[in-house]
Amino acid sequence: MENFGILSLVPPLIAIVLALVTKEVISSLILGILSGLLIYTRGNPISAMTEMFEIITGKLGDNAYMVIFLSLLGALVCVVTMSGGSRSYGDWASKKIKNRTGAMLATSGLGVLIFIDDYFNCLTVGTVMRPITDKHLISRAKLAYIIDATAAPICAIAPVSSFAAYAISVLADTGATQNGMATFLQSIPFNMYAILTVIMLVVLAVTKLDFGPMAKFEDEALEGKVIPGADRGGKSGDELSQVEASDRGTIWDLLLPIASLIVFTVTAMLITGGLGSTVDGQKVGLLEAFANTDSNRSLTYGAFGALLVALVLYIPRRLMTFSKFFEGVTTGIKSMISAITIMVLAWTIGSVCSDYLMTGKYVGELVRSSHFPLQIFPAVIFAVAGLLAFATGTSWGTFAMLIPISVEISRHSAPQLIPIIFAAILAGAVYGDHCSPISDTTILSSAGAGCNHIDHVSSQLPYATVAAGCCFVGYLVAGFTTSALLSLAVSIGLLVLCLVLLHRRYEHRIHPAAHN
């Protein structure tokens, strides 16, 4: 495969810069894709366009289950809304959750509990908590940040998750460790970005501190300049905002379908992972089943099962007619078209970078050819993973690109650093994925919150970068000391100091309503 060198960085840079400048994601992604393929085809526009559609159709085929899952989940959200279940849950929760702090902590807590899959997390938390955060005048941008901050970061430190299973499988392929799960468990205390992100969520909820673009969105919500539930970030939910909700729905009309979604998805994960089957003379256990599961297929089965539960729950009680139910299904699918389009284009530009221009290989070779003390390698690889994931929009792709190279370097030179370097790659990839406008979880967080995508990206970037900066210092400490306790103490202490300084700078703008 030809090495395109620094030109391999052009497509993600074009897509990201255009998206941030124009605030229009789809056209930015298309131009980024075409620029990469023009480089690959040596400036042949016909070949570039032909190749683009070949990649798109291939990605649709490879990820058909994810597209179907998103469509079914949009349908489920719509019919649940039509049943009046979301309204009833909001009425019930409003009696239990008395203020903004409670609403933000409850949203964060739900995100932490749904650790099995980051896609599942993004859309489920948004569906359940949106009415409550709207009621307490929390902007959709803040809701999207909370969802995003409890999706991939939590999955990255949860041993039983599709996210962890993939990372462990990539590590195992290197042959650098006999037990990938054991190495993953050792890496958890060193996954400082995930830990600091959770701490930051709690601090932000309790102190009412907001800074950067998020401060503006929160002020607009608190001052009533933005209609709660239809703020600057309401575009992705326009179809659902027109849905008429039944006045006879109960809280169970929301909880039962959501619970069914969880139960069916977990069950499907265990089945597709081969739980109880015999492989090489040994029965597949719980952890092995999660490691081998087909998460996209399982999510699709879970969403379809939950939709059937909703059908059985709503139609006999006449919350809606049979025809109205399927009108809701159609409306729900339409509400996800924008998110699906962006996601397919994100997959496409990722393929252009990794399969055609070899962006990851180019960055990896730069890292490998650099001569610097291995003690600073964890911090450097954290930064490289963050930049690569930001540019390509994929944490999983970053794992595949950097884990083999980095582990091979440390395997022969400093084997004691393997868990730390593994954690640094996971943390950096999650940070880059968390911030990238072309990341699938960023897109899904926007969709789950009903938030304008660019508003979500621009408002969460300062928050994520503060945590990442503290992590970088923590990885410098980890490289020299190999102490998880000392590294965490330094990074957490630095985070607290940064938040205190930011609080002093922005305390003048805190709206009185924020203390209610």
The β-bridge relationship of strands 282-283 and 278-279 is antiparallel
* Candidate ranges 246-250, 292-296, 422-426; pick with highest mean pLDDT: 422-426
Q: What is the pLDDT of residue 76?
A: 86
| Confidence label for 23 from pLDDT (cuts 50, 70 and 90) | low
Higher pLDDT, 69 or 420: 420
| Number of domains observed in the structure of the chain | 1
Q: Where are the alpha helices (DSSP H) in 114-251?
A: 118-135, 140-149, 152-155, 162-174, 180-187, 192-207, 213-222, 238-241
Mean of pLDDT over the chain:
80
**Mean pLDDT computed over 331-340:** 81
* Candidate ranges 116-130, 164-178, 219-233; pick with highest mean pLDDT: 116-130
* Residue 400, in any domain of the structure: no
Q: What is the pLDDT of residue 445?
A: 86
Rounded Cα distance between 190 and 503, Å, is 27
In this prediction the pTM is 0.69
CB contact set of 43 (below 8 Å; sequence gap of 6+): none
* Residue 116, in any domain of the structure: yes
**Mean pLDDT computed over 374-402:** 81
Weakest-pLDDT range from 273-277, 411-415, 484-488: 411-415
Q: What is the pLDDT of residue 228?
A: 38
* Residue 486, in any domain of the structure: no
| Residue 158, pLDDT above cutoff 50 | yes
* Residue 232, in any domain of the structure: no
| Residue 291, pLDDT above cutoff 70 | no
| Residue 453, pLDDT above cutoff 90 | no
Q: What is the pLDDT of residue 1?
A: 56
Rounded Cα distance between 230 and 104, Å, is 18
Higher pLDDT, 51 or 226: 51
| Residue 54, pLDDT above cutoff 90 | yes
* DSSP string over 375-399: GGHHHHHHHHHHHHHHHHS-HHHHH
293-325 tens-digit pLDDT: 777 788 789 889 999 999 999 999 988 999 999
**Mean pLDDT computed over 444-448:** 83
Higher pLDDT, 78 or 476: 476
| Confidence label for 464 from pLDDT (cuts 50, 70 and 90) | very high
* Residue 475, in any domain of the structure: no
Q: What is the pLDDT of residue 389?
A: 83
Q: What is the pLDDT of residue 236?
A: 41
Q: What is the pLDDT of residue 507?
A: 62
The answer to whether 218 touches 84, Cβ cutoff 8 Å, is no
Q: What is the pLDDT of residue 232?
A: 38
Query: Which residue, 15, 124, 62, is CA-closest to 344?
Result: 62
| Residue 467, pLDDT above cutoff 90 | yes
* Residue 409, in any domain of the structure: no
* Residue 359, in any domain of the structure: no
Q: Which domain holds residue 126?
A: 64-188+237-336
| Confidence label for 230 from pLDDT (cuts 50, 70 and 90) | very low
The answer to whether 122 touches 453, Cβ cutoff 8 Å, is no
**Mean pLDDT computed over 134-158:** 86
Weakest-pLDDT range from 44-48, 101-105, 385-389, 398-402: 398-402
Helix-then-strand count for the chain, H and E? 26, 2
**Mean pLDDT computed over 277-286:** 78
Q: What is the pLDDT of residue 515?
A: 43
| Residue 237, pLDDT above cutoff 50 | no
* Residue 341, in any domain of the structure: no
The CA-based dihedral angle spanning residues 445, 448, 451, 454, taken in that order and rounded to the nearest 10 degrees: 30
